[in-house]
Structure 1
Amino acid sequence: MSDLHAELADRLDEAEWDWLMPHVDRDALVIVSPDLDLVDVGVAIANDDTGPVQGWIEQQLLRKPTHQQITIWNDNPQKRFKALILQPYVLIQDVA
């Protein structure tokens, strides 16, 4: 495991929706599909590994939240997500 992978794994946490809302306002929230490992995605973005990142975007495995999702989450501010801050982005995954 790389040092970056270990560092990002240590920074992986859970966050409630109301904590994440400010990041929507600055268009920095990125939803990561549950089919992907959140830390692996963080490593690829941090390393500017455009091949897999572009593929994930094209396959809709990485995307911005829709207005409908934001509305639903706003109605449930305690909804929890796995979250990884990777400036300037905050990567999130739904907690099942």
Structure 2
Amino acid sequence: MNTKPENDTELRAKINLETARLPWSELERHFAQGNVVFVSADLDLVDVAVRISHDDKDSIARWMGDGKVGKVSDAQAQAWTETAAVLWTSVVHPFILVQPEKAVLH
């Protein structure tokens, strides 16, 4: 896609500002509608959101093939419900991208 770098910078900043931590309980209804997408902690949530915004099919297909991006599974949803998980979220209409908090190494 022919996107000017400054536009990408603005989009990245906008997405970054709109990224928030939310409890899974607030996302369950969106999950029921099939609109919640898991993003592996190996990836940068904002970068994934930018690439989805640009419809970067190659990156998305590669991540999906590697199991790093995909629809939230019933097992993930159940685990997050049981642990009252809080997830990083980013909205890329019509999807809500979610990512578990990265483990902090001491």
Q: TM-score w.r.t. structure 1 length? A: 0.92
What is the SS of the residue equivalent to 1:2?
A: helix
Question: How many angstroms does 1:75 deviate by?
Answer: 2.2
Q: Please, which runs of 5 or more residues in structure 1 have no aligned partner? A: none
Offset at residue 69 of structure 1 (A): 1.7
- Larger Rg: 1 or 2? 2
Displacement of 1:65 in angstroms is: 1.8
**SS of aligned partner of 2:27:** helix
1:3 aligns with 2:3: no
Q: Which amino acid aligns with 2:95?
A: Y
The 5 Å alignment of 1:54-69 reads 54-69=61-76
Partner SS state of residue 16, structure 2: helix
After TM superposition, what 4+ stretches of structure 1 lie above 4 angstroms from structure 2? none
How far has the Cα of 1:70 moved from its partner?
1.6
The CA RMSD measured in Å over matched residues stands at 1.2
Q: 1:70 maps to which residue?
A: 77
| Matched letter for residue 22 of structure 2 | A
How far is the alpha carbon of 1:66 from its aligned partner? 1.8
- Taking only the aligned residue pairs, the percentage that are identical comes to 28
